Structure formats: C-alpha cells, structure tokens
Amino acid sequence: MTYRSPHGTMFGREMWHLIVRRSRNVVAAHADDAMCDRCAGPGDCHLLRSAEGYLADPEMLAAEREALS
C-alpha cells in the first residue's frame, strides 16, 4: 500500500529519502531570502512551501532514516 503524504506525493516509500534530500536542498537554496526562478517574491515560493511541508512530515523523515541506516 502506498502512503500518501499530507503534502501530496504519490511516490512509493522507497523514493521518499530522495524527496527529503531534494527538500533540504531547496530550503538551503532559499537561505537568507534568496529566490529561485519559481519564486513569486522573497519567501513566496511553491517549491519552498512544499519542501518545508515534506521536512515537517514525520513519516517522510522516518523513511529517510530507514534509507540511511
């Protein structure tokens, strides 16, 4: 059974550690109010909101820990 995260991913659990890694990169890229090409304005970015959501999801973080162990 595929768990659907509250943030919308339909990827299988075996892919979640990659989503978490990408999310960490997105958050780091937006440090100090930096903007990407998808930002509507400083701190207003769909990618950043999604990344922060994934990083707040305990199931996603648990999958990352499992993949790294």
Mean of the per-residue pLDDT values of the chain:
85
In a domain, 3, yes or no: no
Looking at the structure of the chain, the number of domains it has is: 1
Domain membership flag for residue 2: no
Q: Which residues pair with 41 in a beta bridge?
A: 44
CA distances from 35 to 12, 17, 45, 48, 69 (A): 30, 24, 8, 10, 33
pLDDT at 10: 75
pLDDT given at position 1: 41
- Record the pTM: 0.80
Q: What is the mean pLDDT of residues 22-44?
A: 89
In a domain, 52, yes or no: yes
Q: Does 7 fall in a domain?
A: no
Position 41 scores a pLDDT of 84
Q: Which domain holds residue 27?
A: 13-68
Residues 20-32 pLDDT 10s: 999 999 999 998 8
67, 17 contact by CB (below 8 A): yes
Average pLDDT over residues 7-28: 86
